[in-house]
């Protein structure tokens, strides 16, 4: 009895409540894999946030580059105005103001691009560390946690659907704004051209407006905002179809009683959809000649 009470007293001094401690600290064989699975899910979530931050910085760089290009185009228009109308006092002040604005815009855009390049470098460094953490957590995960990983992937697809739809809305908005600008300015060109028959000097305004219409049309044709939005919306709809189907066990998943097999099939189909979307994006970046060549090579391969 004395040994038992002494041992019990020692235990109480060291840990307080031995029974509660034993329940709160299960053996490492069960705690380790579960902790690794949670670490893997958290790392994948942070990787997703890291990728979103990198894309945001890349878009910021692109907008800054557009600002510089637009500034140079504006300077060319002002130079043309000086050519057709020799400088006098009001135009001189316009030139000074335009020069100050242009220099300020170029300096600001350059500093912005430099800052974003530094941020992208830091984000890529963090991404490499997150990849190492992901690899470490994946090694520690046991086969018993496979279902949990598959359900985590299922949740990641929901985030991918939201990202695709947000990008699709952004591309549609840009396309609609450009298209509206082209329609309105085209009508203005017609009206100004008609009025130039009675009022001299309007020919140059019509020429400038026609130039803006041509630039906007070229931007729409090169970047293909509408097609990009349609492709992203299609990918989001396809992913949502698979997402809901596997969760409800319907459509192509109705005959799969095993959860792991159903989720594996879902992962395969989801990856296939994302690969198809990446291929469509790559085709958007190619010129018409490259698209024809790649299409012919695919056809010959078949």
Q: Is the pLDDT of residue 16 over 50?
A: no
User: pTM, whole model, 2 decimals?
Assistant: 0.60
Q: What is the pLDDT of residue 95?
A: 72
pLDDT greater at residue 235 or residue 141: 235
pLDDT greater at residue 89 or residue 213: 213
pLDDT in tens, 195-208: 888 877 678 788 88
Q: What is the pLDDT of residue 64?
A: 75
Q: What is the pLDDT of residue 3?
A: 44
pLDDT in tens, 48-87: 888 888 888 888 877 777 777 667 767 776 776 666 655 5
- What's the mean pLDDT in 259-286? 91
Report the alpha-carbon angle 128-131-132, nearest 5: 90
Coil vs helix vs strand at 229: helix
Q: What is the DSSP string of 160-225?
A: HHHHHHHHHHHHHHHHHHHHHHHHHHHHHHHHHHHHTTTSTTHHHHHHHHHHHHHHHHHHHHHH-H
Cβ atoms of 76 and 212 closer than 8 Å: no
pLDDT in tens, 114-131: 888 899 889 888 988 887
Please classify residue 273 by burial: count the beta carbons closer than 10 Å to its beta carbon, then call 0-12 exposed, 13-18 middle and 19+ buried.
buried
- What's the mean pLDDT in 203-214? 85
Q: CA-to-CA distance for 17 and 32, rounded, in angstroms? A: 24
Q: CA-to-CA distance for 200 and 85, rounded, in angstroms? A: 13
Residue (of 145, 168, 149, 133) closest to 240 by Cα position: 168
Per 3-state DSSP, the chain is made up of helix, strand and coil in percentages (nearest 5) of: 90, 0, 10
Q: CA-to-CA distance for 143 and 43, rounded, in angstroms? A: 19
Q: CA-to-CA distance for 113 and 109, rounded, in angstroms? A: 6
The percentage of the chain sitting over the pLDDT mark of 70, rounded to a whole number, equals 74
User: How many residues appear in the chain?
Assistant: 302
Question: What does the longest C-alpha to C-alpha distance in the chain come to?
Answer: 118
Residue (of 232, 251, 234) closest to 242 by Cα position: 251
Q: What is the pLDDT of residue 19?
A: 43
Q: Is the pLDDT of residue 230 over 90?
A: yes
- What's the mean pLDDT in 176-181? 91
Identify the weakest region by mean pLDDT among 35-49, 133-147, 249-263. 133-147
Residue 33 structure tokens: 């894999």
């Amino acid at each position: 009895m004395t040994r038992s009470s002494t041992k019990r007293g020692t235990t109480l001094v060291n840990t307080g409540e031995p029974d509660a401690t034993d329940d709160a600290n299960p053996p490492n064989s069960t705690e380790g894999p579960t902790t690794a699975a949670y670490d893997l899910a958290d790392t994948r979530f942070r990787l997703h946030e890291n990728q979103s931050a990198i894309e945001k910085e890349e878009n910021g760089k692109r907008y800054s580059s557009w600002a510089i290009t637009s500034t140079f185009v504006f300077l060319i228009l002002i130079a043309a105005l000086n050519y057709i109308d020799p400088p006098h006092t009001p135009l001189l002040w316009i030139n000074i103001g335009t020069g100050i604005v242009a220099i300020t815009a170029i300096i600001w855009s350059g500093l912005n691009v430099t800052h974003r390049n530094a941020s992208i470098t830091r984000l890529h460094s963090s991404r490499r560390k997150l990849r190492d953490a992901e690899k470490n957590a994946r090694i520690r995960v046991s086969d018993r946690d496979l279902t949990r990983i598959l359900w985590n992937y299922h949740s990641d697809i929901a985030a991918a659907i939201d990202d695709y739809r947000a990008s699709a809305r952004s591309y549609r908005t840009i396309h609609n704004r450009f298209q509206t600008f082209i329609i309105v300015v085209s009508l203005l060109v017609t009206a100004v051209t008609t009025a130039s028959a009675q009022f001299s000097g309007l020919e140059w305004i019509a020429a400038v407006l026609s130039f803006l219409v041509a630039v906007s049309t070229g931007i729409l044709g090169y970047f293909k905002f509408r097609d990009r939005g349609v492709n992203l919306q299609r990918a989001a709809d396809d992913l949502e179809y698979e997402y809901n189907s596997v969760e409800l066990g319907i459509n192509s998943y109705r005959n799969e009683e095993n959860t792991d097999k159903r989720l594996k099939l879902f992962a395969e189909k989801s990856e296939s959809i994302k690969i198809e979307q990446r291929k469509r994006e790559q085709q958007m970046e190619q010129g018409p000649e490259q698209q024809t060549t790649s299409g012919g090579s695919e056809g010959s391969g078949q």
